[in-house]
Amino acid sequence: MLQQIEGSRAIAETVARCRPEVVCAYPISPQTHIIEAIGAMVKDGRLTPCEFINVESEFAAMSVSIGASAAGARAYTATASQGLLFMIEAVYNAAGLGLPIVMTLANRAIGAPINIWNDHSDAMAVRDAGWIQLFAETNQEAADLHVQAFRLAEELSVPVMVCMDGFILTHAVEGVDLMDQELVDRFLPPYEPRQVLDPDDPVSIGAMVGPEAFEEVRYLAHLRQLDALELIPTVAAEFAALTGRASGGLVHPYRLEDAETVVIAMGSVLGTIKDAVDARRDAGERVGVLGITSFRPFPIAAVAEALREARRVVVIEKSFSLGMGGVLATDVAMSAPWLGQRLVTVVAGLGGRPITRRGIEDVIERARRDDLAPLTFLDLDEGVIARERARMSASRRSGPFAENVLRDLGTATEARR
């Protein structure tokens, strides 16, 4: 039923209809509304049977999920940013043990400096953990991806992380068509574990593996990711047949036909990019968009196919690897090696900085003029950077640079000394 609803609330309602049996909660913005709402549903009896556990840390949230999943329960939790980093050891462990836990990641920047707003640094930090990572473009897609996530996770015995932009999606109220219980039940059968802790059939799970077999074990985990490349589109197609919605899949191509310039991105910024591309198309330019829905596994073949005719590619990403550059762009470059210097990275939207349609149109225009550096930072205030570097070279104790930058910008009101 279509309704105006906050993104977090839509996720909570959808997850509840997936009948999770153990849900762990630990607060961190901007995911908190999700677990608050699920907690209320468990407490008032709407979601039953379900154990809702208020844990003492994100590390415990993922660890309780590991225990619950290994014992055969459908387990769910949500986190963001520092919380994801705090649980990272257990994040890797869940994947290594092949436990189909589903987790919402309300994407948020990582400190220091502490910043609660959106970017993709948190998701990138665990890209190698062995989780499937799906990025939602809208709240509708975010909700739909959760239903698909449980299917994928349980069929493959691989945990799935549904990434949705913090605040931009989690706190936005917009129309979402929530699946009713009967529809979800038709799509998502009860969890049938591949391996389970059971006194009637004792197994040892989590044994030590030495050099003689570790590579094979890891390779098998890689193969499960490759299996996911096959299954993700199948599940999305089945979902589309059931709901009529094109949510999920590996990539979302948009106006790619005859496109000379292709803009690639993940998450909610795709909406803005599509608006910009529509405007450029109206002006007669051959521009298209490739949204990446499945970041892990990375759809190398689908990306390569989509970029076969492209003359230039602009990867707009909300994170970067310090000392190197684009993370998503590196994967795109590997998928389409023939692009060479015709692929540029634009880092944008860090720590919640708005990415505007005007800004993207400007990027597209500069790309067309071959005027973008291979690694470009959108809206970077070069003056602030130059002045801070001057201060740092003038004095050994030039002060905290985050504070200096804020003073320089006039954001901090205290008079400069």
Partner 1 sequence: MTEPTATRVHFYQVGSFAVGNRLLSADDRTVQSNPARTNSIDSGHRACQGCGEALGARYALDAAMRATNDRLVAVNATGCLEVFSTPYPETSWRIPWLHSLFGNAPAVATGVAAAMRVKGRDDVRVVGQAGDGGTVDIGFGTLSGMFERNDDVLFICYDNEGYMNTGVQRSAATPPAARTATTDVVGPEPGNVFGQGKDLPRIAMAHDIPYVATATVADLHDLERKVEHAMEMRGARYLHVLVPCPLGWGSASSDTVRLARLATESGLFPVFEAEHGVVTGARRIRRRVAVEEYLRPQRRFAHLFSGAGRPDVVARLQAMADANIERYGLAPDEGE
Residue 241 as a binder of partner 1 (CB under 8 A): the answer is: no
Interface positions, 199-228, toward partner 1 (CB under 8 A)? 199, 201-210, 213
Interaction mask 70-109, partner 1, x per CB under 8 A:
xxxx-x-------------xx--x---x------------
Q: Report which of 121, 8, 25 is spatially closest to residue 76, judged by C-alpha positions.
A: 25
**Closer by beta carbon to partner 1, 194 or else 311:** 194
CA-based angle 234:236:237, to the nearest 5?
Answer: 65
- The DSSP-derived string for 182-195 is HHHHHHSPPP--SS
Closest contact distance (angstroms) between CB of 100 and partner 1 is: 13
Closest contact distance (angstroms) between CB of 71 and partner 1 is: 3
Interface positions, 27-56, toward partner 1 (CB under 8 A)? 49-51, 53-56
Closest contact distance (angstroms) between CB of 415 and partner 1 is: 43
| Binding-site member from 63, 133, 272, 376 for partner 1 (CB under 8 A) | 63
Closest contact distance (angstroms) between CB of 113 and partner 1 is: 26
- Judge whether 184 and 239 are in contact, CB under 8 Å: no
Pull the structure tokens for residue 279. Answer: 């405007």
Closest contact distance (angstroms) between CB of 197 and partner 1 is: 4
- CA distance readout (Å), 284 to 253, 260, 287, 390: 19, 12, 9, 45
**How far is the C-alpha of 106 from the C-alpha of 167, rounded, in Å?**
8
**Closer by beta carbon to partner 1, 1 or else 208:** 208
**Closer by beta carbon to partner 1, 56 or else 382:** 56
Closest contact distance (angstroms) between CB of 66 and partner 1 is: 5
Closest contact distance (angstroms) between CB of 45 and partner 1 is: 14
**How far is the C-alpha of 164 from the C-alpha of 257, rounded, in Å?**
28
Contact stretch for partner 1 (CB under 8 A) within 124-132, 147-155, 177-185, 195-203: 195-203
Question: Rounded to 10 degrees, what is the CA torsion of 269, 272, 273, 275?
Answer: 160
CA-based angle 13:175:269, to the nearest 5?
Answer: 100
**Closer by beta carbon to partner 1, 209 or else 380:** 209
Residue 66 as a binder of partner 1 (CB under 8 A): the answer is: yes
Using only C-alpha atoms, the chain has a radius of gyration, in whole angstroms, of: 22
Give the distance from CA 182 to its chain's centroid.
28
**Closer by beta carbon to partner 1, 11 or else 61:** 61
- CA distance readout (Å), 96 to 112, 157, 174, 219: 29, 10, 37, 11
Residue 175 as a binder of partner 1 (CB under 8 A): the answer is: no
Interaction mask 141-160, partner 1, x per CB under 8 A:
--------------------
Residue 60 as a binder of partner 1 (CB under 8 A): the answer is: yes
Closest contact distance (angstroms) between CB of 101 and partner 1 is: 10
Core vs surface per residue 64-83: b (16+ CB within 10 A) or e: bbbebbbeebbbbbbbbbbb
CA-based angle 346:350:351, to the nearest 5?
Answer: 175
**How far is the C-alpha of 178 from the C-alpha of 1, rounded, in Å?**
5
**Closer by beta carbon to partner 1, 56 or else 182:** 56
**Closer by beta carbon to partner 1, 90 or else 287:** 90
| Binding-site member from 32, 65, 138, 268 for partner 1 (CB under 8 A) | 65
Bridge partners of residue 107, in order along the sequence? 165
Closest contact distance (angstroms) between CB of 220 and partner 1 is: 13
Question: Rounded to 10 degrees, what is the CA torsion of 162, 68, 223, 205?
Answer: 160
| Binding-site member from 198, 370, 379, 403 for partner 1 (CB under 8 A) | 198
Pull the structure tokens for residue 290. Answer: 């490739």
Residue 3 as a binder of partner 1 (CB under 8 A): the answer is: no
Closest contact distance (angstroms) between CB of 50 and partner 1 is: 7
- Which parts of this chain interact with partner 1 (CB under 8 A)? 21-22, 49-51, 53-57, 59-60, 63-73, 75, 89-90, 93, 97, 197-199, 201-210, 213
